[in-house]
């Protein structure tokens, strides 16, 4: 397993060292420790030269894009031939030529004699001095490489902290399991700390976490910060010296952070990838793991064991298992990988629900997220809604087109309906009600009223036979407006579509499933009911029935409707004014006298 230590340079600066095994048989242990490093010290023995494991370690550094490093040419005391040392140095330079360590200094050293050690320290110091500070993105992650317990302390996990700080008392969550606990204590290089900084080796003592529920490869995060992945969209580089082409659905072992998971590699951009080629893969994982966009990974064949390549995670939560060879899918993935920060932000805001800019910035984990959001808004890549939330302009145009198409199709199929029920439109778009309101407020050619949505150009037009049926129903209603035909009788006379059209046009009021009134009669009945309440203090079903010479059924239906709408309120067997009744004549007169 990797070893960890803290050392101090002659100038007093500290360097954190992770020592990983060099033998090929232990390469999988190497991968558990190499993920959190900023720079590499590649050790090559002068008496052996470049070995197969050297090439594999170099390939791993290259795949993980660890671009800062120093090459130590050790055991020079065992080589007396200066010409041999020059040959070994030339071989090393040729080996690293097309890798991230192409410009790394080669420092000959001997641990026995001490020759070259000061030069090695100087080279390391210079390399590390050029590194940027480890960013604090406010999203701490600690890939767990060790789990153990200590008597009196409980469960302890260790790893290299990235992405943000951890503090004593923080609530934490392990992914992909979802196990939660709290930070009881922190140590960094055997020193107790209250806050652990990103880039440091950290031991986290936890409360409320059973040792058996955590394993190497889990990621300690803040609750809700990450979620488990079972599909990964990745860009993959196949090593030139891989033993065979990578074929679709090949079984591989994925190393990401400290985790290792078996998977099948779905080739999205080719039928196979020859050694040395690059392409898009979707990794179908046999078990969930926690990953984030931009994480580096390594692939190995499980048997016989062989490192075959690696790359970068582009999307840890693809929407679905993609069909292969799809230009639009490949283009979207390329934008995520190579696009500008503004383009990548816009793609992540692809909906269907808009997202608040602060949430989007947190989700991306990009240091420049806020600037990228501003650029995306200014360049038209994002649109912003009334509540401040944003959506990719491309996604908004597609949604706008869908809404207009849905409404146009509805109007064509239902020309006698005033509009599509709002809930039906919301359900078909698969968005929240508040989101639909934001969308409709931004569509100038769409009208939303009385829980119906329509195109501005749409209107109910009763012509021909429909007009005749509507006139017949109007005449029937006018015969006795307080004792009108029931819903069923109206439908039998005029048809359901015409009857509904008159309701939506406002000529008829439907108070329940079986009872309708002409609009004028309904308004007269409501006004008269309130006047009787003002005069008598309350009304009964019988009072309303007798006042309008209607039936008990129609009187009950009217009063129950008024109760439901808040115009009246039932108290026992009588009705009084409800909270939504219009002001009484008496109160209006009092208000007039007060001026």
Q: Is the pLDDT of residue 367 over 80?
A: no
Q: Quick: pLDDT tens for 377-411.
A: 999 999 999 999 999 998 999 999 999 999 999 99
Average pLDDT (157-171) is 93
What percent of the chain is modeled with pLDDT above 70? 94
CA 563 to chain centre: 45
CATH fold label, 3-129: Rossmann fold (3.40.50)
Tell me if the bond preceding 421 is cis, omega within 30° of 0. no
- Quote the pLDDT of residue 341: 86
| Beta-strand runs (E) in 442-558 | 446-449, 452-455, 508-510, 516-518
- Quote the pLDDT of residue 21: 63
Quick one: 229-330 is in which CATH superfamily? Translation factors (2.40.30.10)
- Which of the residue ranges 176-180, 248-252, 415-419, 512-516 would you say has the lowest mean pLDDT? 415-419
Cross-strand pairs, 285:
263
Domains 3-129 and 229-330 alike in fold:
no
- Quote the pLDDT of residue 34: 63
- Quote the pLDDT of residue 588: 39
- Quote the pLDDT of residue 529: 96
- Quote the pLDDT of residue 24: 53
Q: At what angle do helices 464-479 and 487-494 cross, to 10 degrees?
A: 140
d(CA 595, CA 586): 15
Q: Quick: pLDDT tens for 87-100.
A: 999 999 999 998 99
Question: What mean pLDDT, rounded, does the chain reach?
Answer: 89
Exposed / middle / buried, residue 568 (Cβ in 10 Å: 0-12, 13-18, 19+):
buried
- Quote the pLDDT of residue 489: 94
φ/ψ of 103, rounded to 5, equals -105, 10
**pLDDT grade for 4, boundaries at 50, 70 and 90:** low
- Quote the pLDDT of residue 589: 35
Q: In this structure, which long-range contacts are made by residues 21-30, counting pairs with CB atoms below 8 Å and at least 24 apart in sequence?
A: 22/53, 22/57, 23/53, 24/52, 24/53, 24/56, 27/53, 27/56, 27/57, 27/60, 27/300, 27/305, 27/307, 28/253, 28/255, 28/260, 28/300, 28/305, 29/1, 29/2, 30/2, 30/57, 30/60
HSE-CB of 399 using CA atoms within 13 angstroms:
25
- Residue 236 token pair: 């993959």
Q: Quick: pLDDT tens for 493-551.
A: 999 999 999 998 889 999 999 999 999 999 999 999 999 999 999 999 999 999 999 99
State if pTM tops 0.75. no
- Quote the pLDDT of residue 297: 93
- Residue 186 token pair: 């922190």
d(CA 541, CA 547): 10
Q: Is the pLDDT of residue 264 over 80?
A: yes
Cross-strand pairs, 16:
6
- Angle formed at CA 332 by CA 373 and CA 218, multiple of 5 degrees: 80
Domain boundaries, the chain: 3-129, 141-221, 229-330, 464-577
- Quote the pLDDT of residue 27: 55
CATH classification number, 464-577, choose in 3.20.19.10, 3.40.30.10, 1.10.10.10, 3.40.50.920: 1.10.10.10
Which comes out higher in pLDDT, residue 344 or 452? 452
- Residue 557 token pair: 């239906």
CA torsion 386-361-363-163 (nearest 10°) is -160
- Quote the pLDDT of residue 590: 35
Q: Quick: pLDDT tens for 407-431.
A: 999 999 988 888 999 999 999 999 9
d(CA 67, CA 61): 8
**pLDDT grade for 584, boundaries at 50, 70 and 90:** low
357-388: b (≥16 Cβ within 10 Å) or e: beebbebbbbeebeebbebbbeeebbbebeee
Q: Give the containing element (helix H, strand E) for 231.
A: strand 229-238
Q: Is the pLDDT of residue 309 over 80?
A: yes
Q: In this structure, which long-range contacts are made by residues 401-408, counting pairs with CB atoms below 8 Å and at least 24 apart in sequence?
A: 402/429, 403/429, 403/439, 403/443, 403/446, 404/443, 404/445, 404/446, 404/455, 407/446, 407/453, 407/454, 407/455, 407/458, 408/455
Which comes out higher in pLDDT, residue 427 or 369? 427
Q: Is the pLDDT of residue 235 over 50?
A: yes
Class of domain 141-221 (CATH, top level): mainly beta
d(CA 111, CA 75): 7
CA distance from start to end of the chain: 89
- Which of the residue ranges 85-99, 129-143, 270-284 would you say has the lowest mean pLDDT? 129-143
Question: 544, 558 in Cβ contact below 8 A?
Answer: yes
Cross-strand pairs, 305:
302
**pLDDT grade for 319, boundaries at 50, 70 and 90:** confident
DSSP track, 28-78: HHHHHHHTT-SEEEEEEETTT-S-HHHHHHHHHHHHTT--EEEEEEE-GGG
SS3 287: strand
- Angle formed at CA 85 by CA 83 and CA 87, multiple of 5 degrees: 70
Question: 143, 159 in Cβ contact below 8 A?
Answer: yes
Q: Quick: pLDDT tens for 190-222.
A: 889 999 999 888 999 999 999 999 999 999 999
């Amino acid at each position: 397993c990797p070893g960890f230590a803290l050392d101090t340079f002659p100038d007093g600066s500290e360097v954190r060292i992770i020592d990983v095994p060099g033998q090929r048989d232990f390469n999988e242990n190497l991968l558990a420790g190499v993920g959190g490093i900023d720079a590499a010290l590649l050790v090559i023995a002068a008496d052996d030269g470049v070995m197969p494991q050297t090439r594999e370690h170099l390939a791993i550094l290259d795949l993980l894009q660890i671009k800062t490093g120093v090459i130590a040419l050790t055991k020079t005391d065992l080589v007396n031939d200066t010409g041999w040392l020059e040959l070994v140095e030339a071989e090393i330079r040729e080996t690293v030529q097309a890798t991230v360590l192409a410009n790394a200094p080669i420092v000959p050293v001997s641990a026995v004699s001490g020759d070259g050690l000061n030069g090695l320290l100087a080279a390391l110091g210079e390399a590390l001095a050029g590194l940027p500070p480890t960013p604090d993105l406010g999203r701490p992650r600690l890939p767990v490489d060790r789990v153990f317990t200590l008597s009196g302390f409980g469960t302890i996990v260790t790893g290299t902290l990235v992405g943000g700080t951890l503090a004593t008392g923080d609530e934490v969550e392990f992914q992909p399991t979802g196990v939660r606990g709290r930070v009881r204590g922190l140590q960094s290089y055997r020193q107790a700390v209250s806050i652990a900084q990103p880039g440091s080796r950290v031991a986290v003592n936890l409360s409320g976490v059973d040792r058996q529920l955590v394993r190497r490869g889990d990621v300690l995060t803040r609750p809700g910060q990450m979620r488990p992945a079972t599909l990964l969209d990745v860009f993959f580089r196949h090593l030139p010296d891989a033993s065979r082409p990578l074929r679709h659905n090949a079984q591989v072992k994925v190393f990401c952070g400290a985790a290792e998971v078996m998977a099948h590699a779905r080739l999205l951009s080719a039928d196979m990838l020859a050694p040395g080629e690059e392409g898009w893969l979707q990794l179908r994982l046999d078990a969930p793991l926690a990953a984030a966009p931009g994480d580096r990974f390594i692939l190995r064949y499980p048997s016989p064991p062989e490192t075959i390549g690696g790359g970068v995670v582009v999307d840890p939560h693809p929407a679905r298992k993609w069909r292969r060879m799809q230009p639009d899918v490949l283009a979207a993935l390329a934008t995520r990988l190579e696009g500008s920060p503004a383009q990548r932000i816009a793609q992540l805001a692809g909906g269907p629900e808009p997202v608040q800019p602060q949430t989007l910035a947190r989700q991306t984990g990009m240091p420049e997220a806020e600037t990228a959001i501003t650029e995306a808004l200014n360049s038209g890549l994002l649109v912003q809604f009334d509540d401040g939330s944003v959506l990719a302009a491309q996604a908004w145009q597609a949604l706008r087109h869908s809404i207009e198409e849905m409404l146009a199709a509805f109007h064509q199929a239902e020309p006698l309906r005033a509009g599509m029920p709002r809930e039906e439109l919301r359900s078909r778009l698969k968005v929240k009600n508040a989101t639909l309101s934001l969308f409709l407020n931004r569509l100038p050619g769409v009208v939303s009223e009385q829980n119906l949505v329509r195109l501005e150009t749409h209107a109910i037009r009763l012509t021909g036979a429909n007009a005749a049926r509507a006139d017949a129903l109007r005449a029937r209603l006018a015969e006795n407006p307080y004792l009108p035909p029931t819903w069923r009788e109206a439908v039998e006379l005029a048809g359901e579509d015409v009857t509904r059209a008159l309701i939506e046009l406002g000529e008829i009021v439907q108070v329940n499933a079986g009872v309708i009134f002409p609009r004028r009669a309904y308004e007269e009945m409501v006004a008269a009911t309130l006047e009787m309440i003002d005069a008598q203090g309350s009304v009964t079903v019988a009072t309303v029935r007798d006042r309008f010479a209607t039936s008990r059924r129609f009187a009950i239906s009217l009063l129950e409707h008024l109760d439901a709408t808040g115009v009246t309120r039932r108290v026992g067997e009588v009705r009084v004014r409800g909270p939504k009744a219009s002001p009484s004549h008496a109160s209006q007169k009092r208000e007039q006298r007060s001026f």
